[in-house]
């Protein structure tokens, strides 16, 4: 069974329109991951978080069994 010429043309058109989408999606994902990493670094390196982590570690190390 052969596909109709209209269907074959539409499939070719859809295939052409999708070229490069993977690259664009990959680039957007990379930028989003980098932005999330920068935000996470800013939060973790803030004085409040560093102080809280330091207190937790000091408390854990000073606990007597």
For residue 31, tell me if it sits in a domain. yes
For residue 24, tell me if it sits in a domain. yes
Specify the number of domains making up the chain. 1
pLDDT tens, position by position, 1-51: 566 888 888 878 777 765 566 788 889 999 999 999 999 999 999 999 999
For residue 1, tell me if it sits in a domain. no
Residue 38 belongs to domain spanning: 20-62
pLDDT given for residue 22 in this prediction: 75
Residue reference for tokens 């999330």: 36
For residue 27, tell me if it sits in a domain. yes
The model's pTM: 0.52
For residue 39, tell me if it sits in a domain. yes
């Amino acid at each position: 069974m052969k596909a109709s010429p209209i269907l074959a043309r539409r499939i070719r058109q859809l295939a052409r329109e999708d070229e490069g989408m993977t690259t664009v999606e990959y680039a957007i994902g990379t930028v989003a991951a980098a932005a999330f990493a920068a935000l996470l670094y800013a939060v973790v390196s803030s004085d409040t978080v560093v102080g809280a982590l330091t207190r937790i570690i000091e408390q854990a190390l000073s606990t007597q069994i």
